Amino acid sequence: MKPMNKKIIFFFCCALLFMFSRCKDNPIDGEGIFPPTLIPFVAYNSPVWHPDGQFIGFNHTPIKSIHYSGNNTYPDKFELERESSGFWLINSDGTNMRRIFPYTLLNPAWSPDGNWIAFVAGAQIYKMRFTGTTFDTTTLVQLTTEGRNFFPSWSPDGWWIAYDRSLADSSGPGGIWVMKNDGTMKHSLFGGAFPNWHPGGNILIGVIGTSSTSIWTRFVRYNFNQSTMIDTLPVIVGNYNLLPRYSPDGTKIAFTSQPYNGQAQVWLMNADGSGKHQLTTEGVEINTGSSLSWDTLNNLIVYTKYRFDNWPPQNGTLWIINANTGQQQQLTFNPLSTN
């Protein structure tokens, strides 16, 4: 596929900014007034660890100030630095936070070699080359054109991209699809959502399942080479269990789990579904895209801390948790609140 010209890129990026701001379901007016009964604004979201392990990409709109009235635990006003919104990088030690692109990217996913990023705009999947310091917009390529497509996931060898096709239409069924990294050879694999590759390259994990009384989910494993379903992994019954992500060595699966009307948390289990245990206790954000990402070199997970029942100063910031020890480190920060 041919790269898009600069004029098309300009209009695409404008549409991208509008689309992503609409997708958040965070109604914030031009003055930054936020109705406290709605989901609070999330300044940092969709963290994705670069394959070299040195830095993390994420979407960010800086908060200039947060205002609380009296003893309220929810802010009634945000002042945002909208001119600084975009896709940012930060070193894994918390240093050198910098904006590299003036637009946010929905469902960002680095290629295994770190030279490309796949993302979603207007319910279609694109890719764009990463130079090591910024994105080369002249390489922007649209990979899908039909259906509504989300959550791209690169195969470990970089040749394939699995993705979540949310609706069936005349061009094909909904579920988990796969395509070559140039957008060719698209085909459906199985009904499901939120695909992720095992680092061995032949297994995909996804989420399936609904019941007549309440929404619930199952994790399923699919053999890509043999085009067959392997098995169903046990999950936490009664919870929304989403976004399974294999550890770099393939022995663990991190995922988010949320009880009905409860707070979502990061959980961890063995690759066979055993040994489930909760990693976080103070909440994880699951509404704006990709909730968590593994470091490819260590047993670390980056995620967005989030609570819906109150709004502490750390709400909507990036944190790192050690999957072995549970030790946590705050990576990004909001400004101090004002009353």
Per-residue pLDDT tens over the stretch 298-338: 899 999 999 888 777 788 999 999 999 999 999 999 887 66
pLDDT of residue 213: 41
pLDDT of residue 339: 57
Task: Catalogue all structural domains in the chain, each as residue range(s) with its CATH number.
Answer: 6-338 (2.120.10.30)
**Predicted confidence band at 181 (pLDDT cuts at 50, 70, 90)?**
very high
The per-residue pLDDT for range 106-117, each reduced to its tens digit, is 999 999 999 999
Mean predicted confidence (pLDDT) in 191-201: 95
The per-residue pLDDT for range 17-66, each reduced to its tens digit, is 434 333 333 322 323 333 333 445 789 999 999 999 999 999 999 988 88
pLDDT of residue 323: 96
Mean pLDDT, the chain, whole residue set = 86
Long-range contacts of 59-63 (CB under 8 A, 24+ apart): 59/20, 59/86, 59/87, 59/88, 59/104, 59/105, 59/108, 59/288, 59/289, 60/84, 60/85, 60/86, 60/87, 60/88, 60/99, 60/104, 60/332, 61/85, 61/104, 63/334, 63/335
Of the chain, the percentage scoring pLDDT greater than 90 comes to 67
pLDDT of residue 36: 36
